[in-house]
Amino acid sequence: MIYYIRNMKTITLKQIAEELNISVTTVSKALKGYSDVSKKTKKQVKELAKKLNYIPNASAVNLRTQQTKTIGVIVPTTVHHFFATVIKGIIKTAKKRDYMVILLQSEEDAEQEIKSVDLLISKGVDGIMISLSNKTQNFDHLEKIKNHDIPLVLFDKISKITDCSKVVINDQKAAYDAVEYLIKKGYKRIAHFRGDLNPQVSIDRFLGYKKALLNNNIEFDSSLVYICNNNDDFNDGHASAKKLIDMHGKNVDALFAITDMVAIGALKYFNDHGIKIPKDIAIIGFSNWFMSSVITPTLTTIDQPGYKMGKTAFKLLYKEIKTKNVDISYETIEMKTSLIVREST
């Protein structure tokens, strides 16, 4: 039976000190195990602190120690299987090191991303992790973070020109592998539903697609590439699928989509219009969202290890926080992806 004192107002060192007729200094030192406090006093202090349910005032500690034990994370959105997984990894790993996570979302809007960065800086977070929005083209806010000497780690959606630690996958290679797999399977007219023009992942996956075609002597046909940039992957995929069929009819036999969601949008269109998967058209997605394993037909895709990326990203950030003021050498860690073959190919 735990017993709580009703209405325990916030207890401070001062109150403990007064109760015990000693100084605030001694109380603080006793609690932190300093060696110049007698065992007896330590015991008294600790007992009273426990009894009164003393909890240090974090703001005061932060102000004094100049660190907050808090990191900031900015993602485009939380409602996204991959990001949710990364976030889970970050929070869990951070907790182990006694760090807490302030989460912000840019909603794929550059302005919001910039504002969020300012908020985090003013909050005095010990480090910042960002996955860039699709609309981010200027990286001054990242430089700002660096100029404030705040450790920064970019993950997944990164900026190539910013000099900092990064956690990524090799988008180009992953895309290459996916498309080459299609080619080896005998598909020749392979469409690509790509993302917006700016984001690095969008560029890299497109380049991988193109390279795989060229290296296998298949002519690149730009009319087979469709851009999905309405920030609504499912409907983008669905609409692009319609356009693809309207334009090319039977003269297309496979599709490489930039995300699983785009792929599923297309898949849905095909399913609803009597186009058989993979007989009439094969599909490969990207990310291995849970959904892709339960959809009909199940979706071939590329596994992107979100949880591990989150974990790794925090570890990188943590290392930078710890080695602050020392000359830092930035790392870029590349996570392994793998092709998951399912029914859609």
Partner DNA sequence: GATTTTACCGAAAACGTTTTCGAAAGCTTT
Partner DNA sequence: AAAGCTTTCGAAAACGTTTTCGGTAAAATC
Contact criterion met (CB below 8 Å) for 304 and 337: yes
Residue from 26, 93, 105, 301 touching a copy of itself (CB under 8 A): that is 105
Q: Candidates 41-49, 78-86, 129-137, 217-225 — which segment interacts with a copy of itself by CB under 8 A?
A: 78-86
Backbone angles phi, psi at 101, to 5 degrees: -120, 125
Which residues between 1 and 60 bind DNA (CB under 7 A)? 10, 12-14, 21-26, 28-29, 31-32, 35-41, 54, 56-57, 60
325 near a copy of itself, rule: CB under 8 A:
no
Contact criterion met (CB below 8 Å) for 128 and 152: yes
Binding mask 124-163 for a copy of itself (x = CB under 8 A): x---------------x--xx--xxx--------------
User: In the block, which residue shows the tokens 């007992």?
Assistant: 47
79 near a copy of itself, rule: CB under 8 A:
yes
The one-letter amino acid code at 71 reads: I
Residue from 5, 214, 247, 341 touching a copy of itself (CB under 8 A): that is 5
CA angle 273/226/134 to nearest 5° reads: 120
Tell the smallest beta-carbon distance from residue 95 to a copy of itself (Å).
7
Contact criterion met (CB below 8 Å) for 175 and 186: no
Binding mask 38-77 for a copy of itself (x = CB under 8 A): ---------------x-xxxxxx-xx----x-x------x
Contact criterion met (CB below 8 Å) for 283 and 299: yes
Tell me the H-state helices in 32-139: 39-51, 58-65, 81-96, 110-123
For residue 95, the partner it binds in DNA, a copy of itself, none, with Cβ less than 5 to 8 A by kind, is a copy of itself
For residue 223, the partner it binds in a copy of itself, DNA, none, with Cβ less than 5 to 8 A by kind, is none
Backbone angles phi, psi at 102, to 5 degrees: -95, 125
The partner residues of 302 in beta bridges, in order of sequence, read 339
Number of residues that bind a copy of itself (CB under 8 A): 59
